[in-house]
Amino acid sequence: MAKTAQQVAEKYASRAANAAPEYLSGAESTTKDQSTAAIAAKTRWQAELTAAFGRGSYEKGLGKSGKAGWLAGIRSKGAERFGPGAAAATAKYATNSARFDSARNAASGMPIGPRGSETNFARAKAVGMALRAAKVGGA
């Protein structure tokens, strides 16, 4: 007799949970560079996305799950993973964000005017320009 979908799903979950060490080992021992491979596949990826949008797959996929599916995912796994994920990313965020620290302070020596004033717009522009320069390789 064939296995039920529930039996197959349970077997999959059990085997996947036990395969975590192999997953890590495989990632650590591979000689392939995932980012180089992804960059090389850019044209194919773009073509596949365009085709998927053209046939309505984007909408169909989102429509299958809907808000109820989205919330179910958050309740079943997202909420418990959110904190650890954020904690794991803290150092990377701090490192990547630090290059914008001086740009965020670009208007610190400028005067502050009343709401909506040209003085405040100048402050916002100074920060915006400094952030852009930091992003594209300036300051």
pLDDT reported for residue 17: 83
Listed in sequence order, the residues at least 6 apart from 122 whose beta carbon sits closer than 8 Å to its beta carbon are 107, 110
Domain shared by 42 and 80, yes or no: yes
Tokens for 83, please give them. Answer: 């904190």
d(CA 79, CA 71): 10
pTM, entire model? 0.49
Provide the residue-wise pLDDT of the chain in tens; the chain has 139 residues. Answer: 888 888 888 888 888 888 989 989 999 999 999 999 999 999 999 999 999 999 999 999 999 999 999 999 999 999 999 999 999 999 899 988 888 999 999 999 999 999 999 999 999 999 999 999 999 975 4
Check whether residue 113 and residue 133 sit in a common domain. yes
Statement to judge: residues 67 and 102 lie in one domain? no
Looking at the structure of the chain, the number of domains it has is 2
Q: What is the pLDDT of residue 37?
A: 96
Answer whether residue 27 is part of any domain: no
DSSP 114: S
Q: Supply the pLDDT for residue 113.
A: 96
pLDDT at 1: 80
User: Which residues form the domain of 105?
Assistant: 95-139
Q: The dihedral of CA 127, 129, 135, 139: what is its sign?
A: negative
100 and 76 fall within a common domain: no
